[in-house]
Structure 1
């Protein structure tokens, strides 16, 4: 059995009633069957609790509490540390990074309004519904190509065979990054999302991502093409030309978000279909319902866990929180909250007012949600249209991992 992270002492301001021992990276039940463990979490734990694992932090599992915290950017800051702290630490951190002159941060996701609004603006057009819809048939062609590669063998591990290469290749083309480096980039993402051993780990890992992107960032600055990196180079912020430092910041954000998240949405969706053959047949008979199905699958199997820093002393959900506390917006639990969704564990296309927050809520709502929806709908359409009834291959294990992404790493499928 995997050992949990060490438990830290409970701070004085955290009462015993607020404590629930949960390791979001290494909890054994979470790694065995994530959303069943999350259902248990919702039943047993308060809507907001403090856990001593992973350095000690607050965890928000209630739907209305997640909604409130996501919108209160003055209390729940997206800045990983204060600007004064960053300025004081920067020379020491850079000294440990030979040749580095800049600490890249995932911009604008690590910012609060109004800075967040200014830096997000250049990305809004690039990821607009119209711009993403223009890529739909490209996504479909790639989905068919990946299915063609496995259809005759009657089985595959869906994650490496289809779920990884589809959105990753779409994203690499969108950005203008070389497809042949896909394996290298995915390894970097896995390393970035692994448990942190020190508070400085994220900064070192982001520097490593920026270095990996350096050749393409410099190439597009000197010879623009029709890709997102080139578009960003031509953008002004507050009337000022784009800088290399800001390009690194944008690149780190897009790299991490674009190379991991939607893979897991596809994995959980296909897993549900594989476990429910009658539902597969229902959608094959009425493919127009795939759009609704994709939304309910996002609610039922939400998988992202954004991090916040408490920016000022506050009372929230009945608990006293202190400046500097860390807080996790545990969105997978919020979308299984029975106070918000009747019978939340039940998958239903007839669910009314399906106000899931799989893409977050408030100013940091997922920038790539339009592209993610297209990719999810297309992969469901093509898997159902091209394959006979598929099922979980019970001879091989499914594999998951926890953290800020509740991820599915292996999904063995079979079909006749």
Structure 2
């Protein structure tokens, strides 16, 4: 099948490469000339494990190419996937729909043959109905919604072997077309849910809101544990044994960030207000507040470890991206903490395995190092802020020899606290008071 993927950012680049890899003819489209050049040369414009291999295979097969021409795309595609961003608006929590609207308007003015437009962007409920009216001038064109569920760091796997495929359609023809698009996945018995567009639009924002709520819940419990002298890790383990709750997303720490969860829960709440049911999602304001408070709590603990004042202290920061296995620093809790510590007068040195370039663009005032030991040299406090596997492999004895003072804040609850303490480190972790950490080491 001939398809276009309009927007070659994180979602679009992965979708285009993977769709070509499973046998479709794909044309990727973007207004960014440099991005199109990089993709054409087989260079992903961001770090994502496995994407370079899939992109190389797809280009070599001649089933994938890229262009900046929407006119060419309109002539080429039987199916057009809309994968452009829906960032938070500058003046509110609502989603900025200008990019999606522009793509649909651009296609409507250029389409000549029957086709299916499929939205994959995360949008407010009611978007399909609103945009269908904008397609009134286009002959025999349908609009469907097929939300993405990609996790950064696992995007290729999530595209080729997703947990489920959800499509929102208004005709049997559209459903048949999407079943053909995803035929290899259906052959592998991946669940396929065909529903109305409004329900499909709600699935993604509902899933993200639930995950954000679960993360903020355990972080709220971490704050209680700190006050009560309890251990949030053991608490989460105990909760996770309840099959109704489960252990996933119950790791207390610095909280969530990135380009999806924060803006999606705000946009969902804003849309509920527009629909007149804002009270139904009022709890999301609390979820957001708990998440942001984790950043302030982390700075507070860092200040305590530094002796009550950060001014003039050298602080090492391990991790800049919002999560491991990514170079994405959008709304990164790690960078927010690093910047806040710097704002209190500390000398901050940051290391990250993949995110230094993007971090430097976002926060040029910070100092960046290519090796963890160099970032930690002479440090008064070490802050572990992104849970890269490589940080678990650090030798606490060796690290103790390069710092000025062996004091560690594990804001992700991902390091072996007992191992670090045995090497002479003072270790703090959110939700794990000193008595709780001592008990955990027994």
- TM-score normalised according to structure 2 size: 0.26
Tell me: higher relative CO, structure 1 or 2? Use CA pairs within 8 A at least 6 residues apart. Answer: 1
Name which one, 1 or 2, has greater alpha-carbon Rg: 2
When you count helix as a share of all residues, which structure comes out higher? 1
